Structure 1
Amino acid sequence: MAFKKILIFSGGGLDRVTESFEHSFQSLGHTTEIYFHDHYRISLGLFKFFSRTPFTYLNLKYWERYKEVNSAQYEEKIKLFKPDLIFFYNFNSISIKLFKKIKKYYKIPTAYMVFADPLIAAKNSSYFLTNLIYCSHLFFINSSAIPSLRLISDASMHILPLAGDPRFYKPLRLKKDIDLFLMGQFSSISTATVTKAYILDYLCAEGFRVSAAGPGLEKLIRRPEFPHLKNLEVITTSSLPIEEVNVLYNRSKIVLAPEHPRDKDAPSPRAFEAALAGSFPLADYQRDAEQLFEGHLVTFRSVKEMADQVKYYLNHEEERENIASQLYQVTLRRHTYVNRAKEVLRVVFPP
């Protein structure tokens, strides 16, 4: 394939996923640039806050104006860079007018990697869903949302599973001094946070030695709904650099990897990360996991089955480490961001 110029738009700023895609496209010989708006998170936060006040109408006018300004800046970037492909990740701050212009005037392929089911993510706003309609290619982490999206969009739709980055997650051969570990974000009272809290509380109640790290834990362990979290070993209540997360994965006998309840059928990104670190991820059952990990990912369908799996694999070290080794090989071979970048290019620019 001839080299391509790829412009990545990240609505949420420069994060690890965006940077991993940039590096992957570049490693395949393509010129890549990232565009993100510095004030997106602040603006989105203000939008969400004021949407709960009597000033909703003014708030919507502000948001539309913000998107117009951001879109004008983004269009200038398109004119200067002249990309062959625009790859969207986590966007919601571009006007519909610009999407139409990209499609009809610039005629540039636009691909978006869809992490959350758009019909759920767009429940309070049609902007996100409308933007997706004007993309030429949609890549989903699972197949559950595709049938509904086909009713409103003629975009080319494909499965593009989650992945890990072996530059950051890798085996370190450290002593396994942590029995069970969960890395997460606990600062919001969402269904994902509550699900993780109940999992941790149940395991603590069963007498397992459980460790966790992430923002919000200091408040979560004091909530009366989770009385057994007082026995949780809290490693940190702050976000951690990715290198330290990799160290914790390597120190763990079992890494808990429950998926967000919103993301049906797709394994948690923690499963890919832990596998690349050479650890043993234990995940709740997701339909796509069997095929993705070639039958090596151990899963559970209930908290009781989870506790049974934990007890068994803590007591069967050799079997646990053999499975971890197989998962590492499968993930390194099939589930890196370089694999995903190749698939995007193959679909958008077929031979």
Structure 2
Amino acid sequence: MRIAIIGANAPDSMEWHFADAFQFAGYEAKIFDIYEKFPYTVKRLKHYFQVLDKIGRTYSDSYDRKRFLSVANSINEYNPDLVICFYRDIHPAFVDAVKSKNRRVIHVNPDALTSFGYQQVIAANYDALFTKDPYILEFMKNKAKLNAYIYNEAFNQRYNPKPACTKAEMEKEMNVDVMTYGTLYPYRARMVRALVDEGINVKLYGVVPHRFFDKALEKCYTGKYIVGEEKARTIYGAKIMFNNFHFAEIESVNCRFFEANGCGAFQLCDYKPILKDLLPVDPELVSFKTIDEGAEKVRYYLAHPEERYAIAEKVYQHFLEHYTYDHLIQYILKTVETL
């Protein structure tokens, strides 16, 4: 089977992990990135060209259509059996241009509902839509009458492998009480600030936004953007990985939830009812409903390392058996077979 993936061809992107899993399973898979050709290949100017392109696609339908029809031509030349789209702003004309009798075109939405833009995902004639949020699934199926399916996100055990040493040994090496990572948006920073104000030692990894960053957290910021084995070691080596979900994760969790558990971390996250379906332990043990409860549980587990180790190992084994990208692509392929 030949598979075309439409999205960002960048290490650690969901598209990249899908391609890795397909290739590992013996399929031919190629990522088509709208920014893989000149002038976007000029590294020092890429960002500026992307901004101009985004403005053009936002305000000019003809330009937007032209951009994606160009990608459609490349797809048709590649002649895949299956097209999997990840960009949320793909012009609907693209879908019509690449669909054929023997070729399915599906969309996997890796983000929360705030990323829907001009709702291109809903306007396009996809053969199937995959969403991680039961709230969005209910709307798509029962109101918009779309052919939608639920899916759970995943982790890549080849790219982010759990370290071979014990968690206690890695914690001693890292010497980090609490960590979190990703773009340090205000919603994340506010909650981390509450922990810091309680006297909890927090380390921050990722990207500082160019606006509205809380200066009180500068002392916590490491200046590191972690990927691959370094990400796995950092997450595993922290005593607690603190994961506060975006407020638009209505009934879903984020990719970080799967990555952390897949690295063998001990994770504390926002409570969501879906946790009971995802975890092999009582969700109340590893989640919080208020930030005060979160701080209380941080202090408790810092003082009870053996409980951390036991929970982290049980969760890791469960996720290794159920939530790798290898599992996810097989679920996608089996669903596509029924279309």
Q: Shorter-chain TM-score category?
A: 0.7 to 0.9
Partner Cα distance (1:307, 1:143) in 2: 29
- Does residue 1:136 correspond to 2:127, yes or no? yes
Matched letter for residue 321 of structure 1:
Y
Please name the residue that 1:294 is paired with. 280
Please name the residue that 1:262 is paired with. 248
Partner Cα distance (2:66, 2:73) in 1: 13
- 1:97 is displaced (CA, Å) by 2.6
Please name the residue that 2:51 is paired with. 45
Residue deviations 1:132-187, cap 9 Å, x none? Answer: xx11111111211122222565443211111111112233234311100011212x
- 1:87 is displaced (CA, Å) by 0.8
- The equivalent position to 1:163 in structure 2, one of 146, 154, 160, is 154
Matched letter for residue 181 of structure 1:
M
Please name the residue that 2:193 is paired with. 201
- 1:199 is displaced (CA, Å) by 1.4
Partner Cα distance (1:268, 1:70) in 2: 28
- The equivalent position to 2:93 in structure 1, one of 78, 93, 97, is 97
- 1:113 is displaced (CA, Å) by 0.9
Do the aligned partners of residues 152 and 60 (structure 1) sit closer, same or farther apart at CA in structure 2, a change above 3 Å counting?
A: farther
Matched letter for residue 63 of structure 2:
R
Please name the residue that 1:284 is paired with. 270
Do the aligned partners of residues 244 and 87 (structure 1) sit closer, same or farther apart at CA in structure 2, a change above 3 Å counting?
A: same
Name structure 2 gaps, 5 residues minimum: 41-45
Please name the residue that 1:26 is paired with. 23
Do the aligned partners of residues 248 and 100 (structure 1) sit closer, same or farther apart at CA in structure 2, a change above 3 Å counting?
A: same
Do the aligned partners of residues 84 and 221 (structure 1) sit closer, same or farther apart at CA in structure 2, a change above 3 Å counting?
A: closer
Do the aligned partners of residues 219 and 315 (structure 1) sit closer, same or farther apart at CA in structure 2, a change above 3 Å counting?
A: farther
Partner Cα distance (1:221, 1:75) in 2: 40
Matched letter for residue 207 of structure 1:
G
- The equivalent position to 2:103 in structure 1, one of 108, 132, 137, is 108
- 1:48 is displaced (CA, Å) by 5.5
Please name the residue that 1:70 is paired with. 68
Do the aligned partners of residues 350 and 125 (structure 1) sit closer, same or farther apart at CA in structure 2, a change above 3 Å counting?
A: closer
Residue deviations 1:10-53, cap 9 Å, x none? Answer: 1x4434221211121222222212111124975663366589xx
- The TM-score, its normalising length taken from structure 2, stands at 0.85
Do the aligned partners of residues 213 and 329 (structure 1) sit closer, same or farther apart at CA in structure 2, a change above 3 Å counting?
A: same
Stretch of structure 1 that moved more, 83-92 or 338-347: 83-92
- Does residue 1:251 correspond to 2:251, yes or no? no
- The equivalent position to 1:340 in structure 2, one of 320, 323, 328, is 328
- 1:350 is displaced (CA, Å) by 4.0
Do the aligned partners of residues 80 and 183 (structure 1) sit closer, same or farther apart at CA in structure 2, a change above 3 Å counting?
A: same
Is this contact kept in 2: 1:290–1:296, CA < 8 A?
Answer: yes
Is this contact kept in 2: 1:252–1:279, CA < 8 A?
Answer: yes
- 1:218 is displaced (CA, Å) by 9.1
Do the aligned partners of residues 15 and 152 (structure 1) sit closer, same or farther apart at CA in structure 2, a change above 3 Å counting?
A: farther
Do the aligned partners of residues 41 and 137 (structure 1) sit closer, same or farther apart at CA in structure 2, a change above 3 Å counting?
A: farther
Is this contact kept in 2: 1:296–1:323, CA < 8 A?
Answer: no
Name structure 1 gaps, 5 residues minimum: 52-58, 187-192
Do the aligned partners of residues 117 and 148 (structure 1) sit closer, same or farther apart at CA in structure 2, a change above 3 Å counting?
A: farther
Partner Cα distance (2:210, 2:52) in 1: 26
Matched letter for residue 291 of structure 2:
V
Please name the residue that 2:79 is paired with. 82
Is this contact kept in 1: 2:65–2:93, CA < 8 A?
Answer: no
Partner Cα distance (1:221, 1:19) in 2: 29
- 1:127 is displaced (CA, Å) by 3.1
Is this contact kept in 1: 2:68–2:94, CA < 8 A?
Answer: no
Please name the residue that 1:233 is paired with. 220
Please name the residue that 2:302 is paired with. 314
Matched letter for residue 157 of structure 1:
A
- The TM-score, its normalising length taken from structure 1, stands at 0.82
Do the aligned partners of residues 48 and 71 (structure 1) sit closer, same or farther apart at CA in structure 2, a change above 3 Å counting?
A: closer
Matched letter for residue 96 of structure 1:
P
* Shift >6 Å, 4+ stretches: none
Is this contact kept in 1: 2:240–2:268, CA < 8 A?
Answer: yes
Overall identity of the aligned pairs, in %: 20
Do the aligned partners of residues 293 and 125 (structure 1) sit closer, same or farther apart at CA in structure 2, a change above 3 Å counting?
A: same
Is this contact kept in 1: 2:179–2:238, CA < 8 A?
Answer: yes
Matched letter for residue 304 of structure 2:
H
Residue deviations 1:52-106, cap 9 Å, x none? Answer: xxxxxxx622x5324314313x23333332211111112424x323322434x45
